Copies of this chain bind each other. A is one copy, B any other.
Amino acid sequence: MLLTGMNIPDMSLPRVVIVGGGFAGLSVARALSGTKFQVVLLDKHNYHTFQPLLYQVATAGLEPDAIAFPIRKIFKKHQNFFFRMTEVKSVSPEKNTLHTSIGSLVYDHLIIASGSKTNYFGIAGMEEQSMSMKSIPEALNLRSLILQNFERALLSSELEKQRSLMSFVIIGAGPTGVELAGALGELKTHVLAKDYPDLDLRKMQIHLIEAAPRVLAPMDPVSSAKAAQYLKELNVNIWVDTTVKDVKGNKVYTNSDKVFETDNIIWTAGVIGAAIDGLDDALTKPNRIEVNEYNQVKGHTNIYALGDVAQMNTPSTPKGHPMLAQVAIQQGNLLAKNLTNATLGKPLKAFKYNDLGSMATIGRNRAVVELPKFKFQGLFAWYVWMFVHLVSLVGFRNRVIVLINWIWNYVNYDRGIRLIIRPFKREIPNGNE
């Protein structure tokens, strides 16, 4: 058994290298289990992150272990499977070689499932001044920052400074921004008011800014209206048709005269693909990788892209599919089948997205759900939201931990994890861990 770079044994099986252990990477790796491939999965973390619940980590409702799952544990019974924790740099397609921070690796098939990253739309200073929420370290940084700024507000005698420390500006009213705003609204009423009796909590203003004319713009106007109503009930100020133009210190400037002052800027306004270097011919404008209906990267037959990073332009999706977990999972499963089909000489099957619907929750007992055939809001939607998220988590342990925390938080109107374990320092670039 020869070892190549990165100490991956050279087996007499075709080698599939998968970049990224998100929804797409995980689903294709799992579906390849038991097939005649050597599977190498690479990720910069040693765990899979269930991103839809990151906002609950940021708002002290869940610990990371509830939504993160060790990748080695998922695959511990799999044959011919290898995981390496590394940062992938680039690919040399002409040599069938992938370059990473721990060495290079030759592949027979390369699957790029590197997901997406935050898009700051070129607003100078926004990356440094704002918090994003794409990873667990980022969510923990946000949790620390919220609590640190409340501790700091206690020490300030200046009214303006106190207001700025206690106020939140969330830019982008997609599901992440909406759910985070709702969670902050609940944190204000049920937790922070009790923890900080010395502070006048009316100074805590939560602003949700959206460039589109309504929150949850990709959903039906009925859902948007209901979500907006729920947010207002939680004292969230909604600013639609509002674009952020600039940020300077604690001031956020918009396309209107409105200027927001806050020490808590949270950026959830957009993402672009997290493409890797070396596939420039297939790169699209939002930094995604153009693929055909089999998820093959444009100009290549043994390189594939899946999920957020893949852009499959079809008549019904001229700008590619939405960056959703469902797309990633379905593409991963299909690609595993197609890889096997190809080795058996069977025809490949083209991808067709089966839209299972979308949903968002806004505080306790409130959610909006859109299924393919009908849509609904309120308490029942909230149950559906919880059920879908619980069963989507990887592993029984995580489901148990999340459920217990939810029950606890619901019964006690509590968020028990308001711990500043590692104080957030602005010097450390966001998400660089």
What is A's interface to B at a CB cutoff of 8 Å? 3, 6-7, 9, 45-47, 63-65, 68, 70, 72-73, 76, 82, 84-85, 102-103, 136-137, 140, 147, 151, 154-157, 194-198, 395, 397, 400-401, 404, 408, 412, 414, 416-423, 433
Contacts and interface: CB of A to CB of B under 8 A. Distances in A.
A64 B195 contact: no
B422 A137 contact: yes
Contacts of A136: 419, 421
Contact of A419 (B68, B397, B416, B422): B68
Given A46-B418, A73-B418, A195-B73, A85 B404 contact: no
A18 to B, nearest CB: 17
A137 to B, nearest CB: 6
Contact of A420 (B7, B45, B197, B412): B45
Number of copies: 2
Contacts of A151: 46, 84-85
Contacts of A73: 195, 416, 418
A397 B401 contact: no
Contacts of A157: 3, 7
Contact of A195 (B70, B194, B419): B70
B416 A64 contact: no
B65 A416 contact: yes
A244 to B, nearest CB: 29
Given A137-B422, A420-B46, A72 B196 contact: yes
A85 B420 contact: yes
A195 B418 CA distance: 32
B155 A102 contact: yes
A419 B70 contact: yes
A410 to B, nearest CB: 13
A408 B395 CA distance: 12
A73 B154 CA distance: 16
A46 B433 contact: no
A155 B65 contact: no
Contacts of A155: 6-7, 84, 102-103
20 contacts: A9-B198, A47-B419, A47-B420, A63-B65, A68-B419, A70-B419, A72-B196, A72-B418, A76-B194, A76-B197, A84-B155, A103-B155, A136-B419, A136-B421, A395-B416, A397-B414, A400-B404, A400-B408, A422-B433, A423-B433
B419 A46 contact: yes
B419 A64 contact: yes
A157 B4 CA distance: 11
Contacts of A401: 404
Given A7-B198, A65-B417, A73-B418, 9 more contacts: A46-B418, A47-B419, A64-B421, A70-B416, A70-B418, A84-B154, A102-B155, A137-B422, A404-B404
A368 B415 CA distance: 36
Closest 9 CB pairs of A and B: A72-B195, A63-B63, A65-B417, A63-B65, A47-B419, A76-B194, A85-B151, A70-B418, A46-B420
A291 to B, nearest CB: 31
Contacts of A198: 7, 9, 82
Nearest to A45: B420
A75 to B, nearest CB: 9
Contacts of A408: 397, 400
